[in-house]
Amino acid sequence: MMQECRIRLLGRLQFERGNQSHTRFRTQKTASLLAYLALHPGQQPRELLAGLIWPDDAPEAGRHSLRTAFSSLRQQLETPQSASDGGSDDLFESNRFALGLKSGTFSTDVGDFDAAIRGVHRASNDDERAQWYSKAVALYEGPFLPGFYDDWCLSNATRLQGAFEEALVFLATWHHERGESELARDYERRAVAAGISLPVTEITHKPVEKASPKINRSKESEILAAAQIELPSTSEKTLIPALATLLAFDGMELTSELHKVLLTNNGQQLPELNSETSAQWAFSGATGALQSAAILHQHNGQSLRIALCTGETQLAATERPTPTQKRAGLRERAMGMLESAQPGQTLCCESTMLLLRDQPTIESQDMGLFHLPGLRPGITPERIFQLKWRDEAPRDFAPLRAVKSHGALIPQPLTRFFGRDDELTTLRDLLSRERLVTLSGTAGSGKTRLALQIAHALDSSSEKTVFWVPLADVTRSGAIADTILDSLRVKRHNALSTFESIVQELNRDSSQSVLLLLDNFEHLVEGGVELLESLLAKAPRLQALVTSRRVLGIPGEVELPLAPLSIPANGSTPITPQSLENQPSVRLFCDRARLVRPDFALTAQNAASIAELCRQLEGIPLALELAAARAGSLSPARILERLQAQRGTTPEEGGFERFDFLQTASRTTPARHRTLRAALDWSFEALEPELQSVFSRLWVFRGGFTMEAAGEVGDTANALDALEELRVRSLLFFRINEEEPRFRMLETVRQYAMERAHQRGEVDETRRRHATYFLKWAQAEAPHAIGPDATARLNSWNRVRDEAANLRIALVWATEHAPEIALQLAIACHNFTGVHLSEREMNVERALQSVEHQKNNEVPLALLVSGLGLAATHASNRGDVPKQTEFSRRRLELMRDAPKPESRAWAMFDWGCARRNSGHFAESRESLEYSRSIFEQAVPPRRFQLLGWTLIELGLTEFYAGEMEAAKRAFRGCEMAFQQSGDRDGEASAKALFADILFHQGQLAEAQQIWPEVLRIERELGDEREHPWRRHQEGNLAVAQGDLGRGHDLLRRGLRAFWMDGHRVGAVRSLMGLAGFWLASKQPERALHLLRVENAERISAGWPSHEGWQPLRNSIRRAACEAKVKPTTEAEAELSAEQFELAAVIESELRGFE
């Protein structure tokens, strides 16, 4: 049977079952639903619940919210057993029309409390009533559902509070009558702690039969209810609330009539603090204090000064202060406020104002934050409000007699701040020495929030006098001066202009630096910079911190560009909550998610989704906050799905819906920040038309772009000026490399630019210009990427690395829309393969077919021949021997009668490679020797490079044929050819191949001597390519020498690179190397499995059996036989390619490899 549940509603909402306890729920409405169902066991009509708990929602919306909340409760509170057995012992019950908590499956403290009160009513004497009241008091641990303000909650809270008060009064009186003073005193303390103003004499002498007082208390005294403290006086016991509103006044003598009035309003005079014309009175409620202040003001409104201050009268219990010290802090505040007031002025603190905000008899004015006179240094400034009685004529008072804390004008955000430690340090340093600092950044990057953080830090430390000047809603630059003057809280002088009034105020105190924090300046730059420059010139102690999406261009301005928050690294390391807990972007998302879902937490289940979500949104604070606003109804994984599903390239594909998805319904959020689109609209609409046109074309770039590329694709002759203007407006970022600046957009900004391009109808033309530009770029870059000059080749690889993403996107688009460009681009990019592009990204075969179809087989001969050669190479690498043979034969037929011998030589070169892969080694030698004879006629140094490439293929043919000595001669000749050409990368490849032959011959020491030379060349060239064949060869040698850990890593590096590049042949060869590793690791079963996979792939593709691997094959079978691993014979080991998934095998071998 299911354990009975306990639901506590008094003092807190808590669900308990065995060791399980819940105090936080998905939303407060969800918690309210649970509380109502607990108070009303059994099924309740769905329509009633929806209207009761979501009264402001439309009926359908209310029903939907009810379904969501009820589902959340079931998921959170049901036991695993109830879910697995079909819910037979479920706590909940529901049908189409009603839902609820099953009667008898739970109990509540309210139910037990009500039962005790019913027992009182049934009791026949006071002894029985005392027993039942004692049970009720023991159950009452606090008000009913504190913090819940629905009507049904408040009505129940009032009912239960009244019953509790009756119980306390009865028990205190009953124990006094029985002479049990200590017990009576305990209940008296409970009574006054609950806010029941109950003089001791009334309790002591009231007859028991009449012990049922009606307690009348104001709304404020309910809010301030707390334990009360006895303060001895010369006459009678006085009870001072621990939370009270003090009324302090001076300027008139208190008559006996007024004294009685204050007593009638439940005031308690503090005798030791009075004089003939001043006094302090304590009230348990702010309403009584206000009514008393109004009466005093009526008697002497011209000269009377009044201060109302609410707060604690009790210090920490451990300090055990005297009664006077217990309310010293509140008294000091009240007296400091009173000393600040002018004659006839009534002031109150912020706490009092909150309690009086609904009073119809007063009007209030926020005077700001002040350092009150008489308080110790370092005390938090007090926000002061001036009260005006509704029927009183307005009066002008002199400034308050207190030092203004200008932080009063700095907004205090309601949400927490994360990260930016480096930026805060830099900003503080800049503001210590610079006069104008501009905090720039793209829309939603957190400029305003960072500025607020530094402003509060500087103001609280008294380093500077800080004034906050919000400019977002200022629509014209001419209004900036008025806004600054308003922020300074300076009255306008008729004899001075607004500018002169500002300068006069800024220069008033020459001992203090003044910092103007001008927020959201970007739309006012044209007319506003002159004003700011003039202010800085006229006020020597003035500094300005400006937040703006564009820099101002004022001499002496220092720009601090604000990047997005740091995001989790995108690596293969497992994502855990611990690995993310210090990431500012993750902390921000989780914190904002808790605002809409209090029980939200970073867990092992959602950590990966949250990390990826932060990466997708690039750490942009506004985007993270808008995404977190969805956490109330969607999990992080679902939010991520919505973002990823809406990354299409057209509106029809949902590419721009992410801007509508990322939005908030908060009424207090500025309109420009309620959606991500609105934030970017603000920046785009401020651009000139020509700049808008350039911006809307730059979306096509991926991974950044150069000024030259922007000029060609953006169709502008003034690319430098346009890019610089977009940069200063925070729509672009740039970095400087060794050659030229490189610009980039945040992905979110790029998608916005793409949306604008669709609206302008420029997408297709922009894509074509982009593909055309990068075709020209790749064709110009190709000779540098394969030339013999090592420095030129290294620089070329770096340039290709920067443009790899642009080349990929150009290839993808051109393959679909411009096949001839695609084929030309693929041919040019073939020279970059292994650098930063993979063969599968080129899709040469499809481009070739599209071009032939489009041109009706009238393709330019040079393009067709080059395309066939590249298609043959790619087919070879993916192990498609028939396709390789077909493409090579077509090329050979086209070039058989070519006038240029070198063209025929290249066709024979491809044919020789195809014949080798088919196992026709003699034909392969003949064809490659023909090519070699032609290439020997070329002019140096090209001759030597061509010979080097040919000798590599001849050496491989000999190796596959098992002619090891002939292979060694070919690779030695290859090494010499590359040395003569100056191609050091080719030299390294030849050395690695020669070492590999030595490895297969068992000459491990000789092979090992060569590898340091290979690695040295790679280091000297700065070669960052993976070189999977070299890693494969180096790994085989390491395993054979017993260095299993290093060998395993090298083999897996090669395997991963082959597989990512679409090089199936290389991947299968890597599996053979890994089979050798598992054999050396004493795992013959796993080695045999990889051998079977390699064998099946080779037979299926028709690849020849390489004699060089035969010793390893024999060793694996022998070890498997000795270990009695089945199957052991070659016949038994045959495995068809259909019996396994190569990708799964490779994934298994790479698992855990970084």
Report which listed range, 26-30, 229-233, 937-941, is most confident. 937-941
End-to-end CA distance of the chain: 50
Q: Is the pLDDT of residue 413 over 80?
A: no
d(Cα 1050, Cα 1011) in Å, to the nearest integer? Answer: 13
Asked which of 362-371, 733-742, 1002-1011 is least confident by mean pLDDT, the reply is 733-742
List the structure tokens of 296. Answer: 């005093």
Q: Is the pLDDT of residue 19 over 90?
A: no
Q: Is the pLDDT of residue 683 over 70?
A: yes
- For 676-681, the CB contacts below 8 A with 24+ separation are 676/443, 676/444, 676/622, 676/623, 676/626, 676/748, 676/752, 677/752, 677/755, 679/443, 679/444, 679/622, 680/443, 680/748, 680/749, 680/752
Q: Tell the residue number behind the tokens 């809307």, with chain if given.
A: 696
- Strand 514-519 to strand 542-548: parallel, antiparallel, or no bridges (unpaired)? parallel
Q: Is the pLDDT of residue 48 over 50?
A: yes
Using CB atoms within 10 A of its CB, is residue 1028 exposed (0-12), middle (13-18) or buried (19+)? Answer: buried
Provide mean pLDDT across the span 856-882.
Answer: 85
Same topology between domain 5-104 and domain 228-408: no
Instruction: Give the model's confidence band at 665: pLDDT under 50 very low, under 70 low, under 90 confident, else very high.
Output: low
| CB-CB contact of 744 with 705 (8 Å) | yes
d(Cα 780, Cα 451) in Å, to the nearest integer? Answer: 48
Provide mean pLDDT across the span 1018-1044.
Answer: 90
> Nearest 10 degrees: CA dihedral of 709, 710, 715, 719?
-120
Strand partners, 429: none
d(Cα 345, Cα 601) in Å, to the nearest integer? Answer: 50
Q: Is the pLDDT of residue 227 over 70?
A: no
Asked which of 575-584, 832-841, 949-958 is least confident by mean pLDDT, the reply is 832-841
Residue 654 makes CB contacts below 8 A (sequence gap 6+) with: 645, 646, 647, 648
Q: What percent of the chain has pLDDT over 90?
A: 29
| 630: nearest Cα among 655, 664, 600 | 664
Note the pLDDT tens digit of each residue in 718-742.
Answer: 888 898 888 888 888 877 655 677 8
d(Cα 891, Cα 901) in Å, to the nearest integer? Answer: 14
Instruction: Give the model's confidence band at 1126: pLDDT under 50 very low, under 70 low, under 90 confident, else very high.
Output: low
- How far apart, in Å, are the Cα atoms of 32 and each of 143, 879, 929? 15, 66, 87
- Check residue 840 and give its pLDDT: 60
Note the pLDDT tens digit of each residue in 428-474.
Answer: 999 989 999 999 988 888 888 899 888 888 876 666 788 889 888 78
Provide mean pLDDT across the span 855-878.
Answer: 84
Note the pLDDT tens digit of each residue in 487-535.
Answer: 886 666 667 888 888 888 888 766 678 899 999 898 888 889 999 999 9
User: Please, what CATH class does the domain formed by 228-408 belong to?
Assistant: alpha beta
Residue 881 makes CB contacts below 8 A (sequence gap 6+) with: 875, 914, 917, 918, 1101, 1102, 1103
Instruction: Give the model's confidence band at 955: pLDDT under 50 very low, under 70 low, under 90 confident, else very high.
Output: very high
Note the pLDDT tens digit of each residue in 329-345.
Answer: 788 889 999 999 999 99
Asked which of 102-106, 413-417, 970-974 is least confident by mean pLDDT, the reply is 413-417
Assign domain 410-561 one CATH number from 1.10.3720.10, 3.40.50.300, 3.40.50.12780, 3.65.10.10: 3.40.50.300
| CB-CB contact of 926 with 911 (8 Å) | no
| CB-CB contact of 881 with 1065 (8 Å) | no
Domain definitions of the chain by residue range: 5-104, 110-216, 228-408, 410-561, 564-645, 1037-1150
| 1086: nearest Cα among 1033, 1038, 1136, 1048 | 1048
- Check residue 249 and give its pLDDT: 92
Provide mean pLDDT across the span 814-824.
Answer: 89
**DSSP calls for 777-789:** HHHHHHHHHHSS-
Q: What is the mean pLDDT of the chain?
A: 82
Instruction: Give the model's confidence band at 377: pLDDT under 50 very low, under 70 low, under 90 confident, else very high.
Output: low
| CB-CB contact of 252 with 304 (8 Å) | yes
SS3 for 268-288, per residue? EECHHHCCCCEEEEEECCHHH
Higher pLDDT, 285 or 1088: 1088
Q: Tell the residue number behind the tokens 């593909």, with chain if given.
A: 771
| CB-CB contact of 285 with 218 (8 Å) | yes
Q: Is the pLDDT of residue 899 over 50?
A: yes
Strand partners, 439: 547, 560
d(Cα 887, Cα 869) in Å, to the nearest integer? Answer: 7
| 783: nearest Cα among 831, 746, 838 | 831
- Check residue 234 and give its pLDDT: 33
Please give the single-letter amino acid code of residue 1027. Answer: H
Q: How many CB atoms lie within 10 A of CB 1007?
A: 24
Q: Is the pLDDT of residue 397 over 70?
A: yes
Asked which of 10-19, 638-647, 1128-1137 is least confident by mean pLDDT, the reply is 1128-1137
List the structure tokens of 766. Answer: 């922009």
Asked which of 379-393, 917-931, 937-951, 1078-1092 is least confident by mean pLDDT, the reply is 379-393
Asked which of 228-242, 276-290, 1138-1152 is least confident by mean pLDDT, the reply is 228-242
| 565: nearest Cα among 613, 506, 521, 605 | 613
Residue 391 makes CB contacts below 8 A (sequence gap 6+) with: none
Higher pLDDT, 410 or 122: 122
Higher pLDDT, 1134 or 21: 21
Note the pLDDT tens digit of each residue in 520-577.
Answer: 898 888 889 999 999 999 999 899 999 998 889 899 999 999 888 988 887 657 788 8
- Check residue 92 and give its pLDDT: 87
| 209: nearest Cα among 167, 163, 170, 178 | 170
- Check residue 343 and give its pLDDT: 92
Provide mean pLDDT across the span 223-247.
Answer: 47
User: Please, what CATH class does the domain formed by 5-104 belong to?
Assistant: mainly alpha
